[in-house]
Amino acid sequence: MEETPARLSAKPSWLLGQVAMHAHRLASDGFGQVGARGYHYRILAALEEFGVASQAELGRRCSIDRSDVVAAINELAEQGFVERTPDPGDRRRNLVTLTAAGERQLRRLDRALDKVQDDLLGPLPAEDRQTLTRLLTQLLTHHRRG
């Protein structure tokens, strides 16, 4: 294993990037084990929490590009996890609704993602996990404002 220069490995930006790569891989693998992708989880979670939404709203809420949202919703609709219907107020727009099967899939994805969190944060005790989550939330909130 090659060593990383100390001046680099002491930088939070580098550490966050390295951990983010591992987190992404673990999440992709975890979702893959239940036949899903991260986009699916984001969309199902948004529908469950906020209710019926247009594809454009889902893209904004979930930080997913418009074309990727359409592809993900197509996949979810094919599996019966969401229903897409024309908006009665604007026929050019589709409304997306979470189905009962989608709610069950969301629970499976929750369990898969919980396991990922345990794998990712394995060496940290519960208190440190909470502190890390609080600090990352604070950083993300700050940078989203800017």
CA separation for the pair 86, 88 (Å, rounded): 6
Find out if CATH 1.10.10.10 is the number for domain 36-113: yes
Answer whether 34's CB lies under 8 Å from 108's CB: yes
Rounded alpha-carbon distances, angstroms, from residue 103 to 43, 44, 45, 79, 119: 11, 8, 9, 12, 24
DSSP reduced 3-state for 95: strand
* Structural domain spans, the chain: 36-113
Taking the model in full, what pTM does it have?
Answer: 0.89
Per-residue pLDDT reduced to its tens digit, 85-102:
999 988 889 999 999 999
pLDDT under 70 in the chain at which residues?
A: 1
Range list of β-strands (E), 1-146: 53-54, 82-87, 90-98
Residue 90 pLDDT: 87
What pLDDT is recorded for position 1? 56
Contact (CB, 8 A) for 83 and 99: yes
What is the model's pLDDT at position 2? 75
Report the pLDDT value the prediction gives residue 62, as an integer from 0 to 100.
96
